[in-house]
Structure 1
Amino acid sequence: MPTPRKTQLRKPFQKARRVDPRPITGRESARDLLEHAFGAYVGRQVRTAHELMRRSIAEDCSIFLTLSGAMTPAGLHQSCLIP
């Protein structure tokens, strides 16, 4: 039987949104995957970036690309900056 202390610690987590991802069938478009799959970790960051880009394009905003991190040691400096 849970102690009152354990019950108190558990309450904030019970209010969290339930994560119930759709299964991936292989018929999804890239947009479907970005909007409905991979809701955690880096996938969530990619989803947020997709939403910001989509809204920026819809509102005809200027879009700038910035790069950060260790791109040269990873060999990404040529592939990302030189088409």
Structure 2
Amino acid sequence: MNTKLTLNLKKSVIEKAKAYSKTHKKSLSKLIESYLSTLTDSNDEDPEISPLVKSLSGIIELDGDFNYKEAYSDYLLNKYK
């Protein structure tokens, strides 16, 4: 059974949503229903970790003060010299 729901949204959001629904050939009601269903049906359980990822976990050990952004910058500078 469907039930009516009234929402208060910014006009610009409504206009963009209507344009999106038109280009994707889905009603705005169906889009919102699908979104809310996704939010409420999601499992709060941790995702299953594959054996490959488990085997790779902990392979690299870095110092606590390792600055990965600086290391990546250095890598890019050397790469594009």
What TM-score do the two structures reach when normalised by structure 2?
0.24
Highest relative contact order (Cα 8 Å, sep 6+), 1 or 2? Answer: 1
**Larger Cα-atom Rg:** 2
